């Protein structure tokens, strides 16, 4: 509903959320702090269903269900970037959708995303679209090896990716794409992975949390530390990049921008990896370690409320509890200084995000 006048939400109003995972759950908990209700819409039952005022279990192409959902809420937001374009458009015709569908479309397709970012004069990994084996071979000639072949859409946590090293058969990597449109990305010899989690309000106001430094294991975020151990100028440059991206998307809500830090001749340089148009795992520490959590900040932004202070309370470490990690909950609860969060998922399957913990070292 871009361009239409929008009322600020008031306590008692209901926010619609697409997706019933842990991000929707933590959004619901944050909305509740501010006296707002949530209505969760998802094809599958999930942990957000346990903490919301209303829930709809229906497919994302069920227009009747979407229509009732839209009628029951003041605005719609979402916890994941793969909201189908039809769903976003259908809802946006009825009720404000934040972040806007343009941000969704941009973030959903790696080719569109990188083209958009480069268009702002911001560096990404070198890339080339790949439609077939001949195209892949040509792209490899141009970008060199190693390189990473990825599906353009629907990839997350390393799914839909294949590394192509010297000697590897490109056809094997291409087959791994399962016939989906792909993109080849040149290898970036990074020293650190960082992310900016920031909010942009309806009035264009911008508030970034301290820069996150991220460690992955098996392509899944394992640990985030904030503030990141980079030069102050690098942190400032990262904030500037995130702000330019958010401004260009006319973004409202919390956005995460993942970046690589590359060191060349002793100087740090930033290369954007990807945008997440939503609250982000690397911002979970803000619940316990910042004046305002990323979840409350997202709610404030989309609801047209004043942004809160993103001030960090010390040095912070967030650790994901993946699969069986969460079975140690009792010992973790007893550990002094640990803030434990469990998502209420029934089964601790390998690779599944079951919870996280935060440690705050106050100054």
- Detail the DSSP E strand segments found in 100-170: 127-130, 147-151, 161-164
Applying CB under 8 A, among 37, 114, 278, 353 the residue interacting with a copy of itself is 37
- Note whether 25 binds a copy of itself by CB under 8 A: yes
Residues 155-184 that bind a copy of itself (CB under 8 A): none
Closest CA to 326 of 344, 358, 348: 348
Applying CB under 8 A, among 36, 75, 104, 259 the residue interacting with a copy of itself is 36
CA distance 212 to 259: 10
- For 95, the 3-state DSSP assignment is coil
Query: b/e for 75-103, b at 16 or more Cβ within 10 A?
Result: bbbbbbbebeeebbebbbeebbbbbbbbb
CB 358 within 8 A of CB 317: yes
- Detail the DSSP E strand segments found in 156-241: 161-164, 182-186, 192-200, 206-208, 212-217, 220-226
Measured from the Cβ of residue 345, the count of other Cβ atoms closer than 10 Å reads 17
Applying CB under 8 A, among 17, 23, 24, 28 the residue interacting with a copy of itself is 28
Closer to a copy of itself by CB, 149 or 326: give it: 326
Closer to a copy of itself by CB, 143 or 307: give it: 307
Q: Kindly calculate the radius of gyration of the chain based on its CA atoms and give it in whole angstroms.
A: 20
- Note whether 114 binds a copy of itself by CB under 8 A: no
Report the DSSP pairing between strands 182-186 and 206-208: unpaired
In sequence order, the 6+-apart residues with CB closer than 8 A to the CB of 175 are: none
Applying CB under 8 A, among 139, 294, 343, 357 the residue interacting with a copy of itself is 343
- Note whether 346 binds a copy of itself by CB under 8 A: yes
CB of 77 to a copy of itself, least distance (A): 17
CB of 174 to a copy of itself, least distance (A): 41
Closer to a copy of itself by CB, 1 or 51: give it: 51
Closer to a copy of itself by CB, 38 or 77: give it: 38
- Note whether 309 binds a copy of itself by CB under 8 A: yes
Closer to a copy of itself by CB, 1 or 342: give it: 342
What is the x/- site pattern for a copy of itself, positions 267-306, by CB under 8 A? Answer: ------------------------x--------x----xx
Closer to a copy of itself by CB, 202 or 345: give it: 345
Tell me how far CA of residue 312 lies from CA of 24, 75, 135, 182, 291, in angstroms. Answer: 23, 29, 47, 39, 7
Stretch that binds a copy of itself, among 9-17, 159-167, 228-236, 268-276 (CB under 8 A): 9-17
Report residue 243 as tokens. Answer: 């702000």
Backbone angles phi, psi at 221, to 5 degrees: -55, 130
Residues in contact with a copy of itself, counted by CB under 8 A, come to a total of 42
- Note whether 72 binds a copy of itself by CB under 8 A: no
Binding footprint of a copy of itself on the chain (CB under 8 A): 8, 10-12, 25, 28-29, 32-37, 49-53, 291, 300, 305-306, 308-309, 313, 326, 329-330, 333-334, 336-337, 339-346, 355, 362
């Amino acid at each position: 509903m871009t361009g239409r006048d929008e009322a600020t939400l008031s306590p008692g109003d209901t926010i619609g959320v697409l997706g019933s995972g842990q991000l929707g759950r933590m959004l619901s908990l944050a909305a509740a702090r501010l006296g707002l209700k949530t209505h969760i819409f998802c094809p599958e039952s999930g942990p957000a269903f346990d903490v919301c005022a209303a829930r709809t279990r229906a497919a994302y192409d069920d227009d009747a269900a979407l229509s009732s959902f839209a009628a029951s809420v003041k605005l719609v937001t979402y916890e994941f970037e793969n909201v189908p374009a039809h769903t976003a458009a259908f809802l946006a015709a009825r009720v404000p959708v934040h972040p806007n569908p343009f941000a969704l479309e941009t973030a959903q397709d790696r080719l569109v995303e990188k083209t958009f970012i480069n268009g702002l004069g911001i560096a990404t990994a070198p890339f080339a679209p790949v439609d077939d084996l001949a195209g892949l071979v040509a792209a490899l000639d141009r970008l060199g090896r190693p390189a990473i072949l990825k599906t353009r859409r629907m990839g997350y946590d390393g799914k839909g990716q294949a590394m192509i090293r010297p000697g590897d058969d490109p056809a094997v990597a291409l087959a791994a794409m399962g016939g989906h449109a792909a993109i080849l990305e040149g290898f970036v010899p990074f020293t650190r992975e960082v992310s900016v989690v920031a909010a942009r309000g309806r009035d264009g106001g911008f508030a970034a949390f301290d820069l996150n430094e991220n460690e992955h294991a098996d392509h899944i975020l394992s640990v985030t530390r904030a503030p990141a151990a980079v030069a102050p100028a690098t942190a400032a440059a990262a904030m500037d990049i995130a702000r330019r991206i958010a401004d260009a998307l006319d973004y409202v809500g919390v956005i995460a921008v993942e970046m690589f830090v590359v060191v060349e001749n002793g100087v740090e340089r930033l290369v954007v990896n990807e945008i997440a148009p939503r609250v982000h795992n690397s911002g979970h520490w803000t619940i316990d370690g910042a004046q305002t959590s990323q979840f409350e900040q997202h709610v404030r932004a989309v609801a047209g409320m004043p942004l809160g202070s993103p001030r960090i309370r010390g040095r912070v470490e967030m650790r994901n509890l993946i699969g069986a990690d969460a079975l140690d909950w009792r010992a973790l609860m007893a550990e002094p200084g640990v803030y434990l969060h469990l998502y209420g998922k029934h089964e601790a399957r390998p690779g599944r995000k079951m919870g996280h913990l935060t440690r705050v070292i106050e100054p």
